[in-house]
Structure 1
Amino acid sequence: MKNKVLLLALATSLASCNKDFLDEQPRASLSSTDLNNLAAVEALITAAYAPLGGQIDDANNAFNSPGTNWTFGDVVSDDAYKGGGGVGDQNGMHLMEIFLTNSNIIDVDRKWRACYEGIARANRAIRAVNGFAGMSEDLKKIRLGELHLLRGHYYFDLKKIYNRIPWVDETAREITEYDIPNNLSDAQLWKNIENDFLLAQTNLPATQTDLGRATKGAATAYLAKLYAFTKDYPKVIASADAVLASGRYRLNDNYHDNFDPTKEHGPESLFAIERSIRDGTPSNFRGSLDERLLNPGGPYYPVYGFDMPSQDLVNAFKTTAAGLPQTDKSDVGATDSVDPRLDHAVARPGIQFLDLAPYAASWARDAGTYGVFSFKKRMVSSRSTFYLNQFPWVSALNYDIIRLADVLLLKAEAQVETGNLEGARAIVNQIRRRANNDKVLSANGTPAATYNVAEYTAPWTDPAIARQAVRTERRLELALEGHRFFDLVRWGIADQVMNDHFNREKTRRTFMSTARFIKGTHEYWPIPQSQINLSKGQLTQNPGYN
């Protein structure tokens, strides 16, 4: 039944895919009688995965509800600017990045709808599995594990973006019962999400035959992340250790392997958005539609130029003579040493861009407004068969919702908070050793810049210094992967970091002259006004928003 308040269409059609378990022919809507056969029930389960990428209709603007959270995690942080063709281009994103957000912005509305669409599909599939007698108990257990992990994921995104959200489970309801308030406490919401992940952890196997399906490792990793948000540090450590104890996961040998479409489903990937192109899907909408605006422009790509790395982010990769992070925030000069992860994440003038050419400042779409750096981290070469060199200009590169480096750094955080500073240092050094293995090369095979990244050799004895070192490492390792803003919020330092950032940036980026972060309001986004209007007074707005 259609969810009137949350605008949930329980669509079950899904396009074909030639690279993983989503290899199914498009299906029309299913009636209740159709659910008496296994194929139809499996189609509902498959459909619950589809909104992971933010695509919920036949439009090409999944970038307004991105599964990668590049708007909600990067653009609104100190890591990136909106980019594009000036502040009027996707103006809602501009208002978000200077914290003049309102409840009618398309991104605020569409992300909510995308997550609840995923929840609706998961709930309907849970009911179908529970009511279907033609599935073995073992398979039923696995499929319910997948669906609870998916539902937990969608709710996790909603919780960290909107905070105060209504909870809808799989219980069948009359349409009048969908006027559900958003009045559950923080503890209740986190517990509900935790229960979904715990059920998934119990039910799911370590591996699945079909690539892309959720596994026990994904559920356990997600528990580590949830416990980091709720500051249950012993459980963060226990969950991370359980991931490692499985023996199935390790860091990739090279950092860039995480962003190479030929090396997907590698040992570092725990849970990913599966993408494909040239698979028979209308308009190739199974590709990276949520990130299609991130193409940098220039002679090899269409000129979109969104999610442009900030000068502050670039400066964070600067290193000292000892190979440790330079923390004075001074601009990186031509002869300065940098962490090589900088040139995997950010396109800088003069540095080789994949197998194409040295990146040039002229590739930047609006350098006068946003500077000369461009997004590089998940770009696929325009010469690659994994890139669609025509509209909608998308790639088949998967996006790792959780990868092992993320989990390891969450464990390091928890170790700092529980007094094991040396354990945290060992993890950070492990991450930095890997970074040193993977330097960006020029066309002639020599390093493209002066790279110098080293381990912390002195013991960590001061918790405050250790905490900052772990947080810095997390920023460097996961830059432009949609995590930064949420990290600042859960650390309780978003107001300090963002207002300091605005004070520095307004001298070089005039569009930030009026930007201001208000503590107690801007940690979360407004409830979409369209949903409040439909709720008959049940949904209430977040503090600080009209």
Structure 2
Amino acid sequence: MKLNKYLFSVFTVAAALFLSSCSDFLDRSPQGQFTEDDNPNALVNGKIYNVYTMMRNYNITAGPPALAIHCFRSEDAEKGSIASDGSDVEQMYDDFLYTPDNGLLGAYWGQNYAVIYQCNDILGSIAAKETAGQTESEDIVNKGEASFFRAYCYFNLVRAFGEVPLVTYKINDASEANIPKTTVDKLYEQIDNDLKTAEESLPETWSSEYTGRLTWGAARSLHARTYMMRNDWDNMYTASTDVIKKGLYNLKTPYDEIFTDEGENSGGSIFELQCTATAALPQSDVIGSQFCEVQGVRGSGQWDLGWGWHMATELMAQAYEPGDPRKNATLLYFRRSDSEPVTPENTNEPYGESPVSQAIGDYFNKKAYTDPAMRKEYTNKGFWVNIRLIRYADVVLMAAESANEKGLPGEAADYLEQVRARARGTDSDILPKITTTDQSELRDAIRHERRVELGMEFDRFYDLVRWGIAKEVLHAAGKTNYQDKNALLPLPQTEIDKSKGVLIQNPDYQ
């Protein structure tokens, strides 16, 4: 276990415990029930560390709400597990039978707003100079971190729901949070402003005790992603190439190592949430997360690694070119019964395991697969595994896509080749270099590369939406219930009810 990975976790855990008086706040709904009861003497530094803990929460990054909204809706992933486990979730997110009463909607909405409100409190304290005991440089960094996380959560919300309430101030009374929805343009304007603040406030690097803390590169990369969602090619190109030109990140880590313990916080990691486990707390979501437990092999005995949610489809497997090593690094093979023989085809590297499961999906997500030695030391559930949120390869592919759309095929092909070259490694017989300069052909190649490089991560559905091909692709995959309106989810009915008519349901679901 690497020491530097866990030093920053110590700070975030201490903050979570220090702010334990407001733990119930994390479970509160943001519309109609919010009251401020944070420890008034808590340092802003402590509160911002607590936000990192909040970001590991089951409802925003680690559990079914985030996985369902970001992943299950694509053609490459599905709920998986077994038929009796979460059938309502399968109908909602795999089959696009949307209902505002679905519980995951409210959980996702609530945790994003919980983070936003905490960030508003931090930013308000800094603006009012209520940060006794902190230096000016600490205030600047805290302002950048809070601005980043607020932007991150509003980006989550605007992609998922479209128009949502925009609250950028400290809430002292529930009525102050009960406001109408804001236009998408205004939400993105706030996201842009917050990310600009983050870019101006955050350092490029941190010393090892702060491994995992936000940086300029994380803010600029997230900004590129928000421009990507808007198909704003000029700003997307500028933001992504700004990150590349800094030379802070690289693609040197072999692909099959990225999602292992050894690959955490590698040169290709721009932002990942730090998770850990201890002998006393082997599976605590205060210091770790349920990210691997939710996605782990659903089996029994030694193969009881988790719930088996978020499984890859056969279409995901078919997307890889012959010999692409990213296939074996993304898809976790398994047997359906103990009597099924172990073969090279169902044995997973690097651990030589062939799990057994009755899950209904085709493959588990290997990017949430855990080291058996660590399982023996702590627990089968993998609470110590970091959650990768922004990878450098994504930024390079954003540069490739925006360059191609701007009519710069040479640059686009060069960026594309960087990603393919890392995947290819020393095997020159696979993943041939893309040499076309035709914009349409290059567009298809870049889209393919995003699919396989970022397979089973968080953005495939949103890629389909922004490219305007979601209906075509999903219908071809058999998800024929999908209609254009399903790009946006209905607002949680619980929030509408609590607002007493202030919050209006999305028009397609009224």
Instruction: Say yes or no: TM over 0.5.
Output: yes
Q: Which amino acid aligns with 1:113?
A: G
Q: Which amino acid aligns with 1:180?
A: I
2:491 corresponds to: 527
- Residues 300 and 343 (structure 1 numbering): CA distance in 2 closer, same or farther, change over 3 Å? farther
Match of 1:409 among 392, 397, 412: 397
Secondary structure of the corresponding residue to residue 217 of structure 1: helix
Q: CA deviation at 1:406?
A: 0.6
2:200 corresponds to: 202
2:435 corresponds to: 458
Match of 2:357 among 343, 359, 364: 364
Contact (CA 8 Å) 2:171, 2:177: kept in 1 or not? no
1:128 corresponds to: 125
Structural RMSD (CA)? 2.7
Q: Deviations over 1:108-158 (max 9, x none)?
A: 111111111111111112223332243222221111011100111111111
Match of 2:21 among 2, 19, 29: 29
Separation in 2, partners of 1:246, 1:385: 38
Q: 1:377 and 2:377 equivalent?
A: no
Match of 1:540 among 481, 500, 504: 504
- Residues 524 and 291 (structure 1 numbering): CA distance in 2 closer, same or farther, change over 3 Å? farther
- Residues 20 and 255 (structure 1 numbering): CA distance in 2 closer, same or farther, change over 3 Å? farther
Contact (CA 8 Å) 1:275, 1:287: kept in 2 or not? yes
Q: CA deviation at 1:104?
A: 1.2
Identity of aligned residues (%): 25
Secondary structure of the corresponding residue to residue 24 of structure 1: helix
Q: CA deviation at 1:478?
A: 0.1
Q: 1:101 and 2:98 equivalent?
A: yes
2:272 corresponds to: 272
Contact (CA 8 Å) 1:224, 1:235: kept in 2 or not? yes
- Residues 81 and 99 (structure 1 numbering): CA distance in 2 closer, same or farther, change over 3 Å? same
1:486 corresponds to: 462
Separation in 2, partners of 1:89, 1:55: 16
Q: How many residues align?
A: 473
Q: CA deviation at 1:172?
A: 4.4
1:345 corresponds to: 330
Aligned pairs for 1:46-125 within 5 A:
46-55=49-58, 63-65=63-65, 69-86=66-83, 88-125=85-122
Separation in 1, partners of 2:310, 2:173: 42
Contact (CA 8 Å) 2:63, 2:290: kept in 1 or not? yes
Contact (CA 8 Å) 1:70, 1:481: kept in 2 or not? no
Secondary structure of the corresponding residue to residue 368 of structure 2: coil
- Residues 438 and 111 (structure 1 numbering): CA distance in 2 closer, same or farther, change over 3 Å? farther
Q: Which amino acid aligns with 1:49?
A: Y
Q: CA deviation at 1:32?
A: 8.1
Unaligned runs of 5+ in 1: 1-15, 320-336, 440-450, 503-511
Separation in 1, partners of 2:481, 2:133: 57
Secondary structure of the corresponding residue to residue 157 of structure 1: helix
2:340 corresponds to: none
1:328 corresponds to: none
Q: CA deviation at 1:297?
A: 3.7
Q: 1:139 and 2:138 equivalent?
A: yes
Q: Deviations over 1:282-325 (max 9, x none)?
A: 951132314422112456431632211101110001x3xxxxxx
Contact (CA 8 Å) 1:416, 1:424: kept in 2 or not? yes
Choose 261-270 or 345-354, whichever is displaced more.
Answer: 345-354
Contact (CA 8 Å) 1:252, 1:258: kept in 2 or not? no
Q: CA deviation at 1:224?
A: 0.9
Separation in 1, partners of 2:507, 2:160: 14
2:303 corresponds to: 301
Secondary structure of the corresponding residue to residue 308 of structure 1: strand
Secondary structure of the corresponding residue to residue 448 of structure 2: helix
Unaligned runs of 5+ in 2: 1-5, 23-35, 335-344
Secondary structure of the corresponding residue to residue 457 of structure 2: coil
Aligned pairs for 1:253-264 within 5 A:
253-264=253-264
Q: CA deviation at 1:33?
A: 10
Separation in 2, partners of 1:195, 1:398: 29
Separation in 2, partners of 1:206, 1:385: 34
Q: TM-score, normalised by structure 1?
A: 0.80
Q: Deviations over 1:31-63 (max 9, x none)?
A: 989545xx6332211112222123479xxx952
Q: Deviations over 1:470-524 (max 9, x none)?
A: 000000000001110011111111111111111xxxxxxxxx6xx41111x1001
Q: CA deviation at 1:280?
A: 5.1
Q: Which amino acid aligns with 2:122?
A: A
1:288 corresponds to: 289
Secondary structure of the corresponding residue to residue 22 of structure 1: helix
Match of 1:432 among 411, 417, 420: 420
Secondary structure of the corresponding residue to residue 544 of structure 1: helix
1:507 corresponds to: none
Q: Deviations over 1:146-173 (max 9, x none)?
A: 1100111111111111111111112445
Structure having the larger proportion of residues in helix: 2
Contact (CA 8 Å) 2:329, 2:367: kept in 1 or not? yes
Secondary structure of the corresponding residue to residue 192 of structure 2: helix
Q: Which amino acid aligns with 1:477?
A: E
Secondary structure of the corresponding residue to residue 139 of structure 2: helix
Secondary structure of the corresponding residue to residue 490 of structure 2: coil
Contact (CA 8 Å) 1:17, 1:281: kept in 2 or not? no
Q: Which amino acid aligns with 1:128?
A: S
Contact (CA 8 Å) 2:79, 2:89: kept in 1 or not? no
Contact (CA 8 Å) 1:432, 1:453: kept in 2 or not? no
Secondary structure of the corresponding residue to residue 138 of structure 2: helix
Separation in 1, partners of 2:263, 2:370: 12
1:501 corresponds to: 477
Q: TM-score, normalised by structure 2?
A: 0.86
Secondary structure of the corresponding residue to residue 250 of structure 1: coil
Contact (CA 8 Å) 1:421, 1:463: kept in 2 or not? yes
Separation in 2, partners of 1:279, 1:232: 48
- Residues 425 and 172 (structure 1 numbering): CA distance in 2 closer, same or farther, change over 3 Å? same
Q: CA deviation at 1:281?
A: 5.1
Contact (CA 8 Å) 2:7, 2:211: kept in 1 or not? no
Separation in 1, partners of 2:504, 2:291: 29
Q: Which amino acid aligns with 2:136?
A: E
Separation in 2, partners of 1:279, 1:152: 36
Q: CA deviation at 1:90?
A: 4.9
Separation in 1, partners of 2:465, 2:379: 38
Q: Which amino acid aligns with 2:118?
A: R
Q: CA deviation at 1:376?
A: 1.1
Separation in 2, partners of 1:229, 1:239: 13
2:30 corresponds to: none
Separation in 1, partners of 2:10, 2:422: 29
